[in-house]
Amino acid sequence: MSLYSRIFLFRMTHIGNIPHILEYGITHSGSVNANAEYRPIGDTSIIRKRCDFELTNGLYLSDCIPFYFWGRMPMLYVIQNGGNHVDMVKPEEIVYCVCSLKRILELGVNFMFTDGHALAKGLTKLYLRGEVERINEVLDWEAIRIKYWKTDHDLDLKRRKEAEFLCLGDIPVNFVNGFVVYDNGAFDKLKGMGVPEHKVRVKRDFYF
């Protein structure tokens, strides 16, 4: 089995965006197939910062489709609880679109990845597609998969946990391995939208 087939990428989205994804795939904001009725989730102030954040290769974070390398990230906690520029979203309305790195490589789309939160300038390092063979070397998988990230012994833990995979092109739906949802109600909604049952998993431990 390929090393890359065991590395999964998790893109959080509102369940209301799933019909568009099923038709056009996961699209970036500048795509000709971009969702005109896209329902955003997350911190609007951070979204604005990403639009203005220039990467070391001259691109902007907003040019990319961001993924995490695991579920239950700090931003999800903020989204589920709301407040301070963030509208609360119920967990049953949040869906993970899951892709494997192997399939992204097969797609041939360009990408980058970071060893921590992409906005942590001066701390987080950016890696290009040509450096993908270093991915297990530079990512802190223990930090990425840890359940709790607040500790007085490692103040950098949260940054490393939020390592990002940044895709520079649309991802057709047939390159999406599957979807993760919070409960059976969300499972049934995705089935009703046309998602094959075997492509949906209920994983409450990926939520708060």
Under 8 Å between Cβ of 104 and 26: no
pLDDT by residue (tens digit) across 71-125? 999 999 999 999 877 899 999 999 999 999 999 999 999 999 999 999 998 999 9
Whether 1 shows a pLDDT value over 60: the answer reads no
Residue (of 73, 94, 65, 100) closest to 162 by Cα position? 73
CA max distance for the chain: 47
Neighbour tally for 10: CB within 10 Å: 19
* Confidence band, pLDDT 50/70/90 cuts, at residue 43: confident
Q: What is the pTM of this model?
A: 0.95
For residue 46, pLDDT over 90 is answered with: no
In this predicted structure, the answer to whether residue 186 has a pLDDT above a threshold of 70 is yes
Is the predicted pLDDT of residue 202 greater than 60, yes or no?
yes
Neighbours of 167 (CB within 10 A): 23
At residue 29, does pLDDT exceed 90? Answer: no
What is the band of 42 on the pLDDT scale with cuts at 50, 70, 90? confident
Q: How far is CA 196 from the centre of its chain?
A: 21
Q: What is the mean pLDDT of residues 167-173?
A: 97
